[in-house]
Structure 1
Amino acid sequence: MNEVEEIKSRLDIVEVVSSYIPLKQAGSNWKGMSPFKAEKTASFMVSSDKGIWHDFSSGQGGDVFSFVMLMEGMEFREALEILAKKAGLELKPRSQADGQKSKSNTRLYDALEIAMKYYHLTLSKNPEALKYFREKRSLKPETIKAFRLGYSPDTWESLSNYLLKKGFTQSELKDAGLARQKDGRDTVYDLFRSRVMFPIFDSQGRVVGFSARILEENIDSAKYINTPDSSVYHKSSAIYGLLQAKDSIRTLDEVIVVEGNMDVVALANGGQKNVVASSGTALTLEQLRILSRLTKNIKLCFDQDDAGIKATQRVVEMAGEIDAKLMVISYTNAKDPDELITKDSKAWHEAVRLAQYAPDYIFSFAKTKFDVKTALGKKQFANFVLPTVAHLHDEIEKHHYVKKLAQLVDVPEQTLQQKIETGLERKPVTIISAEPEVQSSKPKRQLTRAEKIERITLELMLARLPSRDVLQDIDYENLSDLHKPIFLVLRDNPKANTARLAKLLPKFSDYVKILSLRGEHVYSAESDHDARLEAFTQIYRLKKIVIEKTKRQLTRLIAEAEAVGDQGEVKKLLLSYQALVNEE
């Protein structure tokens, strides 16, 4: 038994799920409100026997790993570590080096956790730092506590000496990004001094680094300094405020991305909880990918200047890789979101409500910047927006904006299309997953009409044995690649239960269990007669789709034969067409 199966055997999925959302027993299954979509009637189902869950409101489902991955916005390996800990299972290191690295990282996490508590305690004893948060920033005590804000004292060695007394080595303090080596000396000094501290957490709630801000605006020092990259902190993937915002992001199905840590804290303080910021870097594809696991609706709120628009354009270019809907929040009469929500919370919430679709925002911005009545202005306008248009992945959407741009600058669409194809080479970004994809009941693409009917038929057959009487009436040759393997195994094993079928279909095991759970939810009250009748109805619908498709093909072939004057072929095709009509 591998580690994944061992964890599944040790953990009851109902216990894991109920640690996130309340569940009530409903027959042999458990039911609760969807954690992914607002709903009034509970439609989230969990089966302890099958070890799977399904959310009818969002169409998502899977095993205990996929649930934790979605709830926590993490990758498979991280979910594996969390669930292994819950199951009391020590994961085997993938190599000796990995084992050593894991032990070393544990020490760094411990040092960073103690440092966070030290800074948080120091804040409570420093009137100037407390005044900065409570009076200048108007932060509530609960906000300061929720974000574990702190203060690093104006000394050179206080934290280092404190941690050294706790048994940490100088090397560990440097590796954690808390201290630096003095030139030519054997001693270290604190990296952060006389600054308010913003701890950065990973998806498991561990402190991985800090962002530190000066108190005095006029001193000759960097406004913010951040923990350098380490074995536990990677600025390209770290997202400030995600730990605190995660629940709100899931509930609202939306995330707001701002530029500064203080913006995140101030907005949360004002009631806008679904806000995060990149950590000391421009928003990266990796950060977007992490956010997209929680929601596909991303609102950007960057500075209202040239740098902000460039950052927005860059994110638009990446957004297609994760299939996200990107909106832009714009505002006036404030230098940043922190100032706006503090001065006028209604204006902030109105700005969020009126957020523009990102490509439209870029077009609107360009209109204020370039005069499209002049030849130079038209050229500048087109060059400004074309990179955004070129990176749109949906061809219909791309055509819409090419047409819009052509009208604005008064040039043929073909000219712009040619410029996109020859002058703006799209650079594809590869997203690499570290672990195999976890099965889901919601395919990555939209199901065809036939596939939807096939899925309904399978749900019925997996939940109600009498409905399998129609197996001999199915046209297996015309089934979709998605469902054909399941139908074939059902045909050869008409009495098999869900557990047996899942074993016979290892690549489809979770999908089969989810279909079964969906079927139980929908068809449990059906009589045997009604279950058979419903199955016959669905098979007839599938047959009709095949006939309609064949008729369309014959119609095209008849037209082609008539065009070349082949009356013999026309007659033959018409007979085939009439046979199909009679079959209907």
Structure 2
Amino acid sequence: MEKLNCEQAKRLDLVEYLAFLGHQPQQVRNGDYWYLSPFREERTASFKINRKLNVWYDHGFGKGGDLIDFGTLYHNCSVSELLERLSGYQARPVLSFHPPIISGKLPGSSSHFAGEKKEATDSKIVVMEFRPLAAKELLNYIQKRCIPLEIANRFCKEVDFLLYGKKHTVIGFQNKAGGYELRSENFKGSSSPKDVTFIDNRTDDVAVFEGFFSFLSFCTVNKNLTAPLSNCLVLNSLSFFERSRPLMEQYKQVHLILDRDTAGMNCTKQAFQWNADKYVDRSDFYKNHKDLNQWLIHHRQSQEQKPRISRRL
């Protein structure tokens, strides 16, 4: 059996390859195939394949690329070992060659990210306009996530953006580089540039969150406190966790309010290796739930019955 080379391997259809591995898309929109991430446990699909370009992007990791990038990461193997695997898979009927249509490459890069950082303007998220939250469907979604409107309005905007020539209106949470995390009931994505969001409340500690709905939930849980909240760092992607270490270590104490999935817990373990006295895991507060927002939603009924949440984080 002849061994595939890298160029041949990159032309193997990613959607069919994931099907072979037992992963089926949760949703297909405009040529984008959304999956529960193959790299970790999650309930909301954050792994995307753009089938036209035959590339992938994992919003939880902040990483993406072609089939070679995926396969070496998924199988934890070298490129040579992956090519041997793929040579065996090629003969099976589930796999076929579909040369991707490449519309342009990043300077100095051989890979594209699915729906991220591409020169083709029709396939890149382009923010057109932002304004205070007003659209009924977005306000309903915020209510469904149990976030008070006054808190959502303080930190979020209503954002119009174009993708594949189609206009979308979503909730936008801005990062410090000017990009947005973009969410609605049916959309999860981000605009470039991708970066963290830092809220400076002038305290000597900092709370760290993976996503902005966990941050908004933290504000909701503590909304009746008279003292200022701790400084807040929203990573917007766990890929920024290690890069944010210099910022986090400026503070006397770092409260980790990360998701209770494999990726989040691995970051917590890593922080303990850095300094077990400085970093504190606060996820016991929502220990039976994936994240703080899921805990908040679970306690919706008790919230409605009481004027305020009895627990404090």
TM-score (norm 2): 0.33
The structure that has the greater radius of gyration is 1
- Which structure dedicates a bigger proportion of its chain to strand? 2
Higher relative contact order (CA 8 A, sep 6+): 2
TM-score (norm 1): 0.18
Higher helix share: 1
